[in-house]
Chain A
Amino acid sequence: MMLPNVSLAGPKGWYNFSNSKILRDLHTLDLSICKHIDVYFTTFDTFELMTNLDPDFEKGIITVKHYPRIHDVKDGSEWSFFYDEHIKTNTKLHLKYEETGSSYRKKYFSILDKYYNPHFVINRDLAIIKSIIDILRYNNVSCKFNRPWKKVYIPDLCDWFDTGDHNDLILQHPLSYILKEIPRTTNASNSR
């Protein structure tokens, strides 16, 4: 079994999720019947954004990651937007996203530019990660925890951020010790 629960996702898209999604997916599992779970955490500078593309929340979520798409590097855009599998596999929704996507991105850029703060996302995600690890262990589920997969063209400054070197800020947090329990893999296997 795997967290996040992204069995529907394609091979190149499934790492575009937030740690909040893992927490929600954990909630849906019957841990009494789980023998082993691979947990793939993601970088802290990742956000879930609502859209009004589809009335169902899970069918229209946008994940925003703090790195430029490779073809956007010259534009200086700091954020990449990814739609979920439901938009990808639903022609009507996909068309709607294509029509309105630039509007979403423009509006959300203004929020991200104004409110993005590494301290906040460290605070937010360390509590989530600690909860996930504790609950799986409490239920005696065999687990393998994995550090985030990162794009190969992003400078490898900090395991837990796509953009920026915030290791010092992470270490200041009282829950940062939990990250030592998540093994670091080689760059080759840790990146896509």
Chain B
Amino acid sequence: MLLTVGDSFTVKRFPDDIPWPEMLSKEMNLNLVNRSHEGMSNQYIFRNFVQEIVTNPNITHCVIGLSNWNRLEVGVNEGVQYDHVSTNTKTLISHSPDPELDASKKINPDLEAEKIYKLYFNYKYYLDTTLTFIKIMIDLSKLYNINLVITQLVKPFPFGALGKRTAEKEEALSYLQGHQFLKTIDTNYIKCFDFNCENLLCIIINDNDLWYKWTGHYVKKHGDKQCMGYHDQMGERFKSEFDLHPSYYGHEIITKSLLGCF
């Protein structure tokens, strides 16, 4: 059985959507458990990975589609669910274009919390925690005898413009290059993206990284066939807003890339 855990790049987003987990499980002739959810963080991914491999002895293969590393998962004061599509958490991120408005252009109900999140944002916290999650998931996959692939389908650490050097990025680079955690991770499990410091911090652009295909930078240079673009599959939002999420063709690209990893 194949387990996939990730965010909106991995979840089935609308009824007719055929995301890469469904394609991959078909190609691999494995039943699928997809514990992904729109907008989730790497903490969500970590805890759902743990819960599924511990409770489901049929899992033999797993693909983790890491989210942005700077997402913070918090609870909400409603909802009582432990299942994998639990929506009783919220993810705060630091790169929303307009914090005053939410995705539907309505007043953001979490504005105050997001302001505090940004005020005290510390990228080292997210580097430390995500590297820990990656290391522990690799160790657990060995213990539970699971063929694990960890990939990155969205920008790893999207602070600042892609491919541009800034003082903050240089400082982060220096921190990451000396990071003890980075040295202990078995990179044989990391697939379809280059696990080096400059790449993780989006300081350089690596054309071979899978996630790069779903960035505005790539679309401007190479076209948008791999993206959803403008559509009405999810209500009004993407009729006027370009959707960088994978199209059917995009999911085929991801599937083909991941097939070669097992």
What residues make up the interface of A, taking CB atoms closer than 8 Å to B? 20, 23-24, 26-28, 48-52, 55-58, 60, 104, 107-108, 110-111, 114-117, 119-124, 127-128, 130-131, 134-135, 138, 169, 172-175
Contacts and interface: CB of A to CB of B under 8 A. Distances in A.
Nearest to B110: A114
B206 interface: no
Nearest to B139: A135
B76 interface: yes
Contacts of B181: 27-28
B82 A172 contact: yes
Given A48-B125, A114-B110, A120-B76, 4 more contacts: A56-B124, A116-B77, A131-B140, A135-B143
Contacts of B136: 23, 26-27, 131, 135
B179 to A, nearest CB: 11
A120 B50 contact: no
A24 B82 contact: no
Nearest to A104: B120
Contacts of A116: 75, 77
Which of B51, B112, B131, B181 has most chain A Cβ within 10 Å?
A: B51
Which of A24, A51, A116 has most chain B Cβ within 10 Å?
A: A24
A173 B75 CA distance: 16
Contacts of B180: 28
A134 B75 contact: no
B207 to A, nearest CB: 32
Which of B55, B113, B120, B143 has most chain A Cβ within 10 Å?
A: B120
Given A51-B120, A115-B77, A124-B47, A27 B184 contact: yes
B54 interface: yes
